[in-house]
Structure 1
C-alpha cells in the first residue's frame, strides 16, 4: 500500500499478522485539525474503525471520486477495491484505532471457488455497520496484538469467516447507519 499523510501521528508500534491470502495490521493514530491522507492499495482491503475519540464528524472520507457524509457510528467499516484511492480529511482533533485487512484476491478466489464469483471485493462500500463483521474484526485485531498466541489456523479461520460474512452482505447499502 502507498500512502501520503500530513498531520497524523502514529501513537503505538504497528501490530500485524499474515495468514493465507491476508495481511492484517492495527494502527493507533492521533490526527490534528487539517490532517489528511491518501491511501492506495494494490489489493482490496477492509478498513475497520475499532475506536474513535473525538467528534463523530471529525473524519471525512472520499473514494472513487465521491465524498460521503461522516459516519457517526462508533465502529464501522469500509471495503475498498484494489487500486481505488481513499482520501481522509480531519476537521477537529481525533484519535483513531483501526484495523486494515489486505486481501490477496487471487489466493482468496482460489480458496473460495464459486463463492467469490460475485466480485464482493470489487465494489466500493463505505460507512457500513454489521455486528458480525465488527466482532470478527475485533478478534483479528486482538490476534495481531498478541503476536499470535494461537495457531495460524485460528487466524486463517477468523479471516475466512470475515470474508464469508462480507460475501453475505451482498447489496447492503453504504452510509445508511450514520447515527
Structure 2
C-alpha cells in the first residue's frame, strides 16, 4: 500500500536541530525528529489517520498537551513519553520552558492497523483499540523497539519487513487492546482501562477530572462510562474521585506541615470547610482530628 500521510500541523517557536529522518513503509510512515522548543512555543496537530509519538527523553516537565482546546486551562496535562492519538483527534501542545527533545512519529493507515491486529484479536477488539487514546510514561520496552526502528529509518540495512515488524511490535505493546471482546458487553471496564484512569487521575495534582474527561480517557461516551464504571467499582465516578482526593489529603496531612486550609486549596476544594465536610464523610472524622491522632501514635 503506497501511503502518504496527511496531517494538519501548525507550530510556533519549535525548530529542528538536525535533518529529519523518515522512511515510508507498507501503510505507514516513520519520521524521526531532533528539535527544540522555546518557552511559550506551541503546536496544533490533526490527522485523519491514527498516529503514535514516542519521546526519547522525559518532556513531562516542559510540554503540556490538550485535546479540547488551545487555551490550556482545565483540560491540560503533562506530555507523556509515548502517546497514541486515534484518527481525527486534535492535539494542542505548549512549552512551559525551553527544551531540546527527540521523538519518533508513526503515521499509520487505519486499514493497515486493522490488517495487522484483526487476525490475532478479532475485528471488534481491533476497532475498539483504534478508538482508545493511550498516554504512558513508562516506555522501557517500547523505547527499545523505537530506538531500533530509528536506526533502521536513518540507515536502512535490512528488508522493509524488519522495520514493519518493529512497528507492529510497538503497536501491540502500546495500544490498549481489550483482553476479551465481551468485557465491555458485560458492562465492566477492563483492567487496562482502570489502570489508565488511575494513572491519569494521579497525574493531576488535585486528582480532579470531569466525568467527560474520564470517559474520554477510556474511549467511551459519558453516559455509557458512568454506567459501566458503577458496575465495575461499586461507586459513581465522582464518588471514586472524591475518595482518591481524600486519600491524597491524608497523605499530605501525615507527611507535610501544610495547614488544612493549604491542603484544601491544593486539592481544589472551595475552602477548608468544604474539605472538612468531605473528609468527615469519607473518613469519619475531621482532618485536624485525624492528624492529631496520627501524631500521637
When normalised by structure 2's length, the TM-score is 0.53
1:2 alignment partner in structure 2: 8
| 1:61 equivalenced with 2:68 (yes/no) | no
Tell me, in whole angstroms, the C-alpha distance in 2 between the residues paired with 1:110 and 1:56.
33
| Runs (4+) off by over 3 Å | 167-170, 174-178
Higher helix residue share: 2
Aligned to 1:129: 138
Residue 159 (structure 2) pairs with residue 151 (structure 1): yes
Which structure dedicates a bigger proportion of its chain to strand?
1
CA separation in 2, counterparts of 1:177 and 1:149? 43
TM-score (norm 1): 0.84
| Partner secondary structure for residue 7 of structure 1 | strand
Give the structure, 1 or 2, with the largest relative contact order (CA under 8 Å, sep 6 or more).
Answer: 1
Counterparts of 1:39 and 1:117, CA distance in 2: 28
| Separation (CA, whole Å) in 1 of partners of 2:164 and 2:14 | 31
Instruction: Tell me, in whole angstroms, the C-alpha distance in 1 between the residues paired with 2:167 and 2:101.
Output: 22
RMSD of the alignment, in Å? 2.3
Partner secondary structure for residue 57 of structure 2: strand
Secondary structure of the structure 1 residue equivalent to 2:168: helix
C-alpha deviations, 1:79-130, integer Å up to 9, x for none?
1011111111011111110011111111221233252532212112224423
Unaligned runs of 5+ in 2: 1-6, 70-74, 179-191, 204-297
User: Do the aligned partners of residues 7 and 150 (structure 1) sit closer, same or farther apart at CA in structure 2, a change above 3 Å counting?
Assistant: same
Unaligned runs of 5+ in 1: none
Shift of 1:133: 1.8
- Among candidates 17, 25, 35, match of residue 19 of structure 1: 25
Pick the structure with greater CA Rg. 2
Q: What is the count of residue pairs matched by the alignment?
A: 171
